[in-house]
Amino acid sequence: APVDPETLLAELGLAGKADDYPRDLSVGEQQRVALAAIMVTCPGALLLDEPTRGLDYRAKQQLIDLLQRRQRAGAAIVLVTHDVELAAIAANRVVLMSQGEVIANGSPAEVLGASPLFAPQVARLFPGTGWLTVDDVCESIC
């Protein structure tokens, strides 16, 4: 189903920016505009390289929410990222690479939780719990 461009811009925290000159936007805003230009077509697959680069916490969460909605709607999403927090929150599967070689492949818990070098902050704070995200902690103790 077609997506209303204004609604999509609002979901990405860009409400009221449609008429702004592109060079007047921050790097993060420019990145979100580029993503909106692609997402408005409702593609069946998205390949995103470092999609959270230049985004503050709020913009990052808006992006995650949008990607998760697209995934639930049936889109295939492949992220290339150094952001282990993003991978822990948003990924169903993590493929860890080093120097062009796959060194781990599995669920976020299997790959990120098992590696002290690549573990998200929550996993480092609470080793052995299986928690990767703040939501994991809240679900366990709330």
Q: Where are the domains of the chain?
A: 1-81, 83-142
Model pTM?
Answer: 0.79
Which two tokens mark 127? 């080793």
CA angle 78, 82, 87 (to 5 degrees): 55
Q: What are phi and psi of 76, to 5 degrees?
A: -90, 130
Residue 42's DSSP bridge partners are none
Q: Which fold has domain 1-81?
A: Rossmann fold (3.40.50)
Residue pLDDT, tens place only, 66-104: 999 899 999 999 999 999 999 999 999 999 999 999 999
Pairing of strands 76-80, 45-49: parallel
Tokens of 95: 């493929």
* DSSP-assigned letter for residue 36: H
